[in-house]
């Protein structure tokens, strides 16, 4: 199992100006850095790849889905833009040898409405249409797309692993799997260990191991021993990554409802979180 830290712990948007983070994350003892792609143009990818190689860090790629990247939108131009963004991120993942591209790919974060069953179905169809095309490209690139359920306050589309499984099983594409973020799961699932077992080794491609308040892992009410047992039982050998938001942009703060610091500092959260992961998972 590899342990990772998301760039979102420190900055938003991540850019070439923040490349010192790679050295910091490597020095802390992490195996990988998860690069959140808010704006790909802000990042010098060639240099990032070189520094990752120098520091020995692996890279995973995560997405940021604002309103204009919504593949279930009723606006065809927005769906197209969302599709283009996902494809760009898949190609970035391929270039950086990230086995996955993870995120709530199905909609926009913060899109929460009460809509009719007909409209829900229509939006799901648009989403399936685009994910079918995404799947083909992801397969060619050798990248797996991790569909991440979000809690009810951040999306009205995929809140539970059961809903993600329904989408992924309907797509039946080996390059579209499920990514679990324990912060969201802790709100929506009756049992995170049971959820991990229900997704299973075949379909679980990535884990963001976040605390119940998105603070330092190990300091809240997430069932960590149960998570460890379930991941071990299914034979999960992917990454576990801390993703929280230490300096969110205004848009991200609103989308993810981050209104206060979640730890004394991002550095403290990252180093204490890693120490907790090591004690939990490697004992």
Give the binding range for ligand LER (CB under 6 A) out of 78-86, 146-154, 197-205, 217-225. Answer: 146-154
103 binds ligand LER (CB under 6 A): yes
Name the active-site residue from 148, 154, 189, 211: 148
Q: With CB under 6 A as the rule, give the number of residues binding ligand LER.
A: 11
- Rounded to whole angstroms, how far apart are CA atoms 71 and 128? 9
Rounded to a whole number of angstroms, the minimum distance from the CB of residue 103 to ligand LER is 5
Rounded to a whole number of angstroms, the minimum distance from the CB of residue 165 to ligand LER is 18
Q: Which of 31, 154, 189, 211 binds ligand LER (CB under 6 A)?
A: 154
Rounded to a whole number of angstroms, the minimum distance from the CB of residue 109 to ligand LER is 4
Give whichever of 51 and 160 is closer to ligand LER, judged by the CB atom. 160
Residue 268 is a catalytic residue:
no
- Quickly tell me which residue has 């850019």 as its tokens: 15
Q: Do you know the residue count of the chain?
A: 283
Q: Which of 31, 38, 94, 148 binds ligand LER (CB under 6 A)?
A: 148
Report the residue number whose CB is nearest to ligand LER.
Answer: 256
Residues 49-68 that bind ligand LER (CB under 6 A): 62
Query: Cβ–Cβ contacts within 10 Å for residue 89, how many?
Result: 27
234 binds ligand LER (CB under 6 A): no
Burial of 60 (0-12, 13-18, 19+ CB in 10 A): buried
Rounded to a whole number of angstroms, the minimum distance from the CB of residue 62 to ligand LER is 6
207 binds ligand LER (CB under 6 A): no
256 binds ligand LER (CB under 6 A): yes
Q: Are 82 and 130 in contact (CB under 8 A)?
A: yes
Q: Which of 150, 167, 178, 204 binds ligand LER (CB under 6 A)?
A: 150
- Rounded to whole angstroms, how far apart are CA atoms 108 and 112? 9
188 binds ligand LER (CB under 6 A): no
Q: Which of 26, 109, 147, 239 binds ligand LER (CB under 6 A)?
A: 109
Query: Cβ–Cβ contacts within 10 Å for residue 151, how many?
Result: 18
Distance of CA 92 to the CA centre of its chain: 15
Residue 129 is a catalytic residue:
no
Query: Mind telling me the catalytic residues?
Result: 148, 243
């Amino acid at each position: 199992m590899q342990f990772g830290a998301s760039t979102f712990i420190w900055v938003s948007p991540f850019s070439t100006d923040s490349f010192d983070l790679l050295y910091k994350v490597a020095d802390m003892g992490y195996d990988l850095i998860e690069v959140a792609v808010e704006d790909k143009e802000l990042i010098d990818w060639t240099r990032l790849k070189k520094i990752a190689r120098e520091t020995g860090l692996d890279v995973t790629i995560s997405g940021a889905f604002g309103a204009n990247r919504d593949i279930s939108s009723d606006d065809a131009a927005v769906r197209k833009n969302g599709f283009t963004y996902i494809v760009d991120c898949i190609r970035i993942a391929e270039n950086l040898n990230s086995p996955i591209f993870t995120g709530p790919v199905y909609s926009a974060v913060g899109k929460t409405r009460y809509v009719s069953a007909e409209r829900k179905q229509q939006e799901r169809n648009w989403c399936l249409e685009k994910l079918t095309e995404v799947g083909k490209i992801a397969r060619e690139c050798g990248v797996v797309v991790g569909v991440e359920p979000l809690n009810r306050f951040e999306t009205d589309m995929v809140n539970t692993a059961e809903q993600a499984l329904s989408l992924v099983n309907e797509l039946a594409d080996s390059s579209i799997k499920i990514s679990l973020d324990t912060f969201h799961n802790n709100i929506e699932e009756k049992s995170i260990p049971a959820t991990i077992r229900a997704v299973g080794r075949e379909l679980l491609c990535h884990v963001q191991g976040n605390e119940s308040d998105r603070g330092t892992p190990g300091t809240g009410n997430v069932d960590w021993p149960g998570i460890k047992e379930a991941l071990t039982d299914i034979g999960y050998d992917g990454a576990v990554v801390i993703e929280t938001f230490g300096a969110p942009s205004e848009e991200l703060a609103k989308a993810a409802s981050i209104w206060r610091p979640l730890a004394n500092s991002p550095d403290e959260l990252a180093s204490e979180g890693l120490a907790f992961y090591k004690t939990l998972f490697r004992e």
